[in-house]
């Protein structure tokens, strides 16, 4: 594993990886950007090509290419390893277990669940029969798409998958944990999915984490839900997973836009129609976490849900979640009674493309729909106040908000001031946190402790950060050996050792901080020397205070010998402090 990690680092630079997600600009020897992990106006996210690291001074995250991909894709380390290995063209080689096992790989519980779900996917896809293929064809889904998205079939048996997985040495406990089986009413366990066309759901790295199954088959129960999704598991969190995201993210980045649809068939049809930037929700409403996932790649979202009343309401809810995260939201209006898959099947991919191109921003979309269905001007006004204004409050851009105020005032035939006044009276609702992360770092541990900013300890860290920063260069601007000796004298051996014992993540933050402050400085030597002098003056002042206290106690005891010693020490320290004061 360690060899694999090093090979990936040798082939991929931090710039190669980060620049696929954010636009970097040169800042001294580093590069900077607006942080992809939290909303900000002034760039505080820095990347060091030399050290292969990044750090954000706004949300205090940092690391290397692996931690970056973990954070931005919401993956664990092995998921990030898979993504980066594919980018680098490196084959993953796992270290063998020690002591026994005949060379078998050590697998943790999550590895076992991933392997089980992959095995289940192979099982289901091998059973996709002619009847299921014919149904998919009638819905406009080609055989190539069914194969590409690994569609399968769960038959009518109660234990088909369970028996197959047992043959592959998986336990019932693992099947339940992965959501592939459920507790049976008769005791024991049975297959979770029966009589369904199966759609594997993958994480950002392309690993199967769950399934969505559409009812299918002559023996399917008429009371069964049309779609059935995997339950929440250690791998599958439906509020964080978007169906097709692993396949769509490159197209989303390329076109700087994501398209959101509601169902798996809608997504497949959209991809076939040339819109590879399409994603879908899986058994849940569109959440702020979904919106955050999209915003890491693009600021633009087109919502294309069903044209019925439920679909329009769902589009509205999705738009609010997206607006709160800061996405630019448009809604594609579909012909009444047609979902995206039906529109593409019946009217062709050009009709779908036309709907995408004619998508309207959410405020205009809502105004159009409400105006068409309003029974009177007064009814329209009330609808705008109750439905449209809450969306307007979610718009983060003050310029866009002002444009919408103007549009609403024009439609209602009222002044812009009255619209603004009504907007101001809306109850404040907490916005979703755009910096919330769903990756492994959001649930393990707390952020690194903030380093001191004021006082002697803060200045000591400040001086130490210059040392760390300069030491990385083959030809530093400072004589780092001499500077370290001066720093040791000014703050003391113990304090310097404590700084050297800081975690590497904190030391990396200090390096970035020093470069940020002094990267363009033409007088680094003078500024560093001044800082050392201040630290030394503060240390000598503390020693003088201690000596003066000891002198007073010696005088009270009448110990003339100690009085002479401490008097001499006080005079010497006073002289040195005076000399330093003239310098600083």
For the chain, the farthest-separated pair of C-alpha atoms sits apart, in whole angstroms, at: 108
For 537-563, what is each residue's pLDDT tens digit?
Answer: 888 888 888 888 888 888 888 888 887
120 burial level (CB within 10 Å; 0-12, 13-18, 19+): buried
Alpha-helix runs per DSSP H in 168-263 = 172-178, 245-255
482 burial level (CB within 10 Å; 0-12, 13-18, 19+): exposed
Q: Which two tokens stand for residue 503?
A: 């975690």
The model's confidence at residue 87, banded by pLDDT at 50, 70 and 90, is: confident
Domains and CATH numbers, the chain: 2-88 (3.90.580.10), 109-229 (3.90.980.10), 248-357 (3.40.1360.10), 359-427 (no CATH), 455-583 (no CATH)
Percentage of the residues of the chain whose pLDDT score is greater than 90: 34
Write the DSSP assignment of 79-98 as a string of letters: HHHHHHHHHHT----PPBPS
For 366-394, what is each residue's pLDDT tens digit?
Answer: 888 888 888 888 888 888 888 888 888 88
- Averaged pLDDT, 491-501: 87
Q: Which two tokens stand for residue 463?
A: 């001086």
Phi, psi of 105 (to 5 degrees): -70, 140
Q: Which two tokens stand for residue 275?
A: 């819109």
Q: What per-residue confidence (pLDDT) applies to 99?
A: 46
For 265-319, what is each residue's pLDDT tens digit?
Answer: 999 999 999 999 999 998 788 988 899 889 888 889 999 976 666 767 778 888 8
Helices and strands, number each (H, E), in the chain: 26, 16
Comparing C-alpha atoms, which of 193, 191, 196 is closest to residue 131?
196
Asked if 15 and 27 count as a contact pair (C-beta separation under 8 A), the reply is: no
Q: Taking 80 as the threshold, does the pLDDT of residue 100 lie above it?
A: no
Q: Taking 90 as the threshold, does the pLDDT of residue 536 lie above it?
A: no
Alpha-helix runs per DSSP H in 449-523 = 455-471, 480-491, 493-500, 504-518
Q: What per-residue confidence (pLDDT) applies to 173?
A: 95
Distance in angstroms (rounded) separating the CA atoms of residues 179 and 198: 14
Comparing C-alpha atoms, which of 331, 294, 290 is closest to residue 313?
331
User: If you average pLDDT over every residue of the chain, what do you get?
Assistant: 84
Asked if 30 and 427 count as a contact pair (C-beta separation under 8 A), the reply is: no
- Averaged pLDDT, 241-267: 92
For 57-69, what is each residue's pLDDT tens digit?
Answer: 888 888 999 999 9
Strand order in 258-261's β-sheet? 278-280, 258-261, 300-303, 328-331, 360-361
Q: What per-residue confidence (pLDDT) applies to 104?
A: 42
Q: What per-residue confidence (pLDDT) applies to 307?
A: 61
Q: Which two tokens stand for residue 44?
A: 């505080």
């Amino acid at each position: 594993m360690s060899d694999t990690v090093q090979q990936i680092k040798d082939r991929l630079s931090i710039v190669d990886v980060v620049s696929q997600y954010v636009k970097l600009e040169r800042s001294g020897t580093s590069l900077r950007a607006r942080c992809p992990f939290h909303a900000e106006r002034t760039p505080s996210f820095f990347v060091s090509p030399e050290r292969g690291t990044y750090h954000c001074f706004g949300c205090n995250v940092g690391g290397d290419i692996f931690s970056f991909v973990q954070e931005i894709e919401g993956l664990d380390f092995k998921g990030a390893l898979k993504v980066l290995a594919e980018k680098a063209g490196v084959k993953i080689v796992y270290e063998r277990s020690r002591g026994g096992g005949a060379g078998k790989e050590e697998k943790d519980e999550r590895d076992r669940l991933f392997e089980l779900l992959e095995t289940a996917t192979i099982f289901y896809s091998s059973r996709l029969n002619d009847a299921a293929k014919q149904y998919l064809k009638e819905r406009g889904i080609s055989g190539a798409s069914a194969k590409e998205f690994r569609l399968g079939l769960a038959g009518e048996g109660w234990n088909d998958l369970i028996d197959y997985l047992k043959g592959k040495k998986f336990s019932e406990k693992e099947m339940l944990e992965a959501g592939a089986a459920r507790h049976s009413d008769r005791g024991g366990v049975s297959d979770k999915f029966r009589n369904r066309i199966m759609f594997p759901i993958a994480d950002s790295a392309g690993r199967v984490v769950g399934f969505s199954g559409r009812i299918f088959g002559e023996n399917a129960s008429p009371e069964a839900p049309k779609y059935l999704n995997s339950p929440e598991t250690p791998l599958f969190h439906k509020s964080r997973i978007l169906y097709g995201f692993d396949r769509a993210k490159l197209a989303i980045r390329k076109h700087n836009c994501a398209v959101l649809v509601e169902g798996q068939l809608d997504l497949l049809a959209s991809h076939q129609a040339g819109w590879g930037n399409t994603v879908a929700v899986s058994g849940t409403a569109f959440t702020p976490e979904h919106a955050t996932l999209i915003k890491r790649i693009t600021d633009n979202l087109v919502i294309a849900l069903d044209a019925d009343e439920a679909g329009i309401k769902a589009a509205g809810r999705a738009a609010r979640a997206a607006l709160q995260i800061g996405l630019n939201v448009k809604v594609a209006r579909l012909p009444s009674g047609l979902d995206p898959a039906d529109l593409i099947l019946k009217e062709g991919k050009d009709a779908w493309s036309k709907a995408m191109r004619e998508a309207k921003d959410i405020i205009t979309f809502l105004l159009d729909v409400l105006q068409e269905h309003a029974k009177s001007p007064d009814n329209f006004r009330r609808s705008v106040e109750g439905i449209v204004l809450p969306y307007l409050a979610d718009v983060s851009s003050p310029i866009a908000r002002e444009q919408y105020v103007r549009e609403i005032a024009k439609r209602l035939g009222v002044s812009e001031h009255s619209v603004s006044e009504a907007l101001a009276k809306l109850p404040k609702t907490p916005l979703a946190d755009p910096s919330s992360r769903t990756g492994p770092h959001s649930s393990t541990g707390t952020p690194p402790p903030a380093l001191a900013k004021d006082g002697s300890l803060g200045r000591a860290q400040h001086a130490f950060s210059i040392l760390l920063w300069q030491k990385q260069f083959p030809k530093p601007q400072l004589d780092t050996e001499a500077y370290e000796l001066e720093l040791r004298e000014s703050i003391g051996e113990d304090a310097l050792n404590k700084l050297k014992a800081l975690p590497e993540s904190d030391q990396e933050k200090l390096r970035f901080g020093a470069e940020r402050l002094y990267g363009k400085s033409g007088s680094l030597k003078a500024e560093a020397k001044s800082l050392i002098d201040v630290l030394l003056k503060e240390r000598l002042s503390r020693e003088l205070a201690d000596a003066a206290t000891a002198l007073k106690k010696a005088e009270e005891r009448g110990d003339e010998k100690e009085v002479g010693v401490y008097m001499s020490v006080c005079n010497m320290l006073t002289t040195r402090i005076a000399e330093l004061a003239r310098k600083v």
